[in-house]
């Protein structure tokens, strides 16, 4: 594709580019795995840097619709589009005498698909909301928020949320950290929390979400929630059809149940947990139950500028149990010194290293 540098035609060029990328995406979704469609796609992507970028955006938007859009019309359109693409692909290969019929249909369908993609990708999702606000906390800081509908969000230390409300939906994104959500009932609007590739859908309920580097932990305190998984991030990573097949799974939780989703999208079986332990951070406490010392130190470090480190792998795997005051790093270091026969070595004014006692 040749891109026109005239500013007046930039918009139409972008639309044509997304149409082509959409056509390639649908062809690969419908193609036989043994075909050379993937090699043809790679050749197309190599023609211009914007080709690969457009394809990745198409794949990400397609996955985003399936993974995160609750509106039935999006899901139906997505399903119908794929079915039509599959039928057209079969017609293409079974009726080679009429290639123009395929290309004519593909062009019109790609235009429609591109419109959907541009709707999802080209418009900043937050712009559709009445007001967008970002809240975050620092080390050792917690914060309680009351949202416009009287829902309450309590942020743990080192946490960040983006809040956006519209007439149809209440949306919060937890990009890092931990928060407890106490959702006010509103029969007109669901309450959705996006965390990584997961979406929690609720109406009137209370739940806790912890989002750290390696996993997301979702605990229902009361009421009812549905957790929906999608594959948006993988779709955006590379133009490979194997990575853009949407995998949507839903999990319903009962009060007192916790769902853990690992970074590799592996889901641990739902389990009953102690709500006292999960919500202890709201009372300024940290409750540990046979937690590896290295992970316990990471948890303690969120509440204090004095950081604890463990470099010895054998020491790092020692299991720690107990109730500790959030932010009281010195007391924690003394406790593990006594419990495991370790030595807490002060390094400067803001670091403690736990080592084996000689």
CATH number at residue 309: 3.55.50.30
What is the residue-wise DSSP string for 272-293? E--HHHHTGGGGTEEEEEEEEH
Neighbours of 338 (CB within 10 A): 9
The Cα–Cα gap between 350 and 256 comes to 38
Residue 2 lies in a domain: no
pLDDT band at residue 108 using 50, 70 and 90 as cut-offs: very low
pLDDT tens for residues 121-134? 444 445 555 567 88
pLDDT tens for residues 49-87? 788 877 777 766 655 444 444 444 444 444 455 555 555
Give me the number of domains the chain comprises.
Answer: 3
Q: Which residue range forms the structural domain that includes residue 13?
A: 7-123
Residue-level pLDDT at 160: 93
Instruction: Dig out the tokens for 226 from the structure.
Output: 């549905």
Closest CA to 215 of 171, 176, 254: 176
Average pLDDT rounded to a whole number, residues 240-269: 75
Does 204 lie in the same domain as 292? no
Task: Say which residue the tokens 């290969």 belong to.
Answer: 93
Does 151 lie in the same domain as 105? no
The Cα–Cα gap between 191 and 172 comes to 8
pLDDT tens for residues 171-224? 999 999 999 999 999 988 889 999 988 889 987 899 999 998 778 999 999 999
pLDDT at 234 over 60: no
Residue 264 lies in a domain: yes
Does 150 lie in the same domain as 252? yes
Does 140 lie in the same domain as 113? no
Does 132 lie in the same domain as 33? no
pTM above 0.85, yes or no: no
Does 352 lie in the same domain as 337? yes
Residue 350 lies in a domain: yes
More confident residue, 230 or 92: 230
Helix (H), strand (E) at residue 229: strand 225-229
The Cα–Cα gap between 195 and 199 comes to 6
Residue 15 lies in a domain: yes
Q: Indicate the DSSP class of residue 216.
A: E
pLDDT tens for residues 327-351? 999 999 999 999 999 999 999 889 9
Residue where a domain terminates, one of 69, 99, 123: 123
Closest CA to 298 of 215, 201, 234: 215
Does 215 lie in the same domain as 137? yes
In order of 95, 98, 205, 211, 220, the CA distances from 171 in angstroms are 48, 48, 15, 17, 18
Does 213 lie in the same domain as 143? yes
Does 267 lie in the same domain as 135? yes
The Cα–Cα gap between 133 and 162 comes to 6
Task: Say which residue the tokens 């995998």 belong to.
Answer: 247
Average pLDDT rounded to a whole number, residues 146-153: 94
Write the CATH number for 228: 2.60.120.1440
pLDDT band at residue 248 using 50, 70 and 90 as cut-offs: low
Least confident range from 233-237, 292-296, 310-314, 339-343: namely 233-237
Residue-level pLDDT at 7: 44
Closest CA to 281 of 206, 173, 208: 208
pLDDT at 241 over 80: no
Q: Are 27 and 85 in contact (CB under 8 A)?
A: yes
Q: Where are the alpha helices (DSSP H) in the chain?
A: 10-30, 37-46, 49-68, 72-94, 99-121, 232-237, 275-278, 293-301, 313-316, 329-340
Does 231 lie in the same domain as 105? no
Residue where a domain terminates, one of 220, 255, 275: 275
Q: Are 316 and 293 in contact (CB under 8 A)?
A: yes
Neighbours of 182 (CB within 10 A): 19
Residue 321 lies in a domain: yes
Q: What average pLDDT does the structure give for the chain?
A: 76
Residue 1 lies in a domain: no
Residue where a domain terminates, one of 251, 275, 299: 275
The Cα–Cα gap between 304 and 324 comes to 13
Does 90 lie in the same domain as 140? no
Does 82 lie in the same domain as 44? yes
């Amino acid at each position: 594709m040749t891109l026109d540098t005239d500013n007046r035609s930039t918009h139409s060029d972008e639309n044509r580019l997304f149409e082509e990328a959409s056509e390639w995406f649908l062809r690969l979704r419908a193609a036989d795995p043994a075909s050379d469609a993937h090699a043809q796609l790679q050749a197309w992507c190599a023609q211009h840097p914007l080709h690969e970028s457009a394809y990745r955006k198409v794949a990400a938007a397609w996955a985003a619709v399936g993974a995160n859009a609750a509106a039935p019309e999006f899901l139906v359109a997505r399903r119908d589009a794929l079915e039509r693409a599959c039928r057209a692909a079969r017609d293409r290969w079974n009726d080679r005498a009429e290639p123009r019929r395929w290309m004519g249909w593909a062009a019109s369908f790609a235009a429609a698909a591109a419109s959907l993609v541009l709707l999802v990708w080209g418009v900043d999702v937050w712009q559709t909301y009445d007001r967008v606000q970002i809240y975050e906390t620092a080390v050792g800081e917690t914060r309680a928020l009351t949202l416009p509908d009287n829902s309450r969000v309590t942020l743990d230390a080192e946490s960040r949320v983006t809040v956006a409300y519209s007439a149809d939906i209440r949306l919060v994104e937890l990009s890092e950290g931990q928060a407890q959500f106490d959702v006010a009932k509103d029969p007109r609007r669901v309450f959705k929390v996006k965390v990584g590739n997961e979406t929690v859908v609720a109406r009137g309920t209370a739940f806790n979400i912890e989002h750290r580097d390696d996993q997301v932990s979702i605990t229902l305190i009361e009421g009812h929630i549905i957790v929906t998984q999608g594959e948006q991030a993988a779709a955006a990573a590379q133009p490979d059809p194997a990575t853009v097949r949407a995998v949507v799974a839903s999990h319903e939780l009962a009060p007192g149940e916790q769902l853990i989703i690992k970074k590799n999208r592996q889901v641990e079986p739902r389990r009953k947990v102690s709500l006292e332990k999960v919500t202890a951070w709201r009372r300024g406490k940290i409750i540990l139950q046979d937690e590896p010392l290295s992970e316990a130190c990471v948890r303690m470090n969120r509440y204090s500028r004095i950081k604890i480190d463990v470099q010895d792998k054998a020491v790092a795997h020692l299991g720690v149990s107990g109730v500790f005051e959030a932010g009281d790093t010195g007391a924690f270091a003394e406790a593990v010194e006594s419990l495991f026969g370790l030595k807490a070595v002060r390094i400067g004014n803001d670091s403690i290293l736990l080592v084996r006692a000689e």
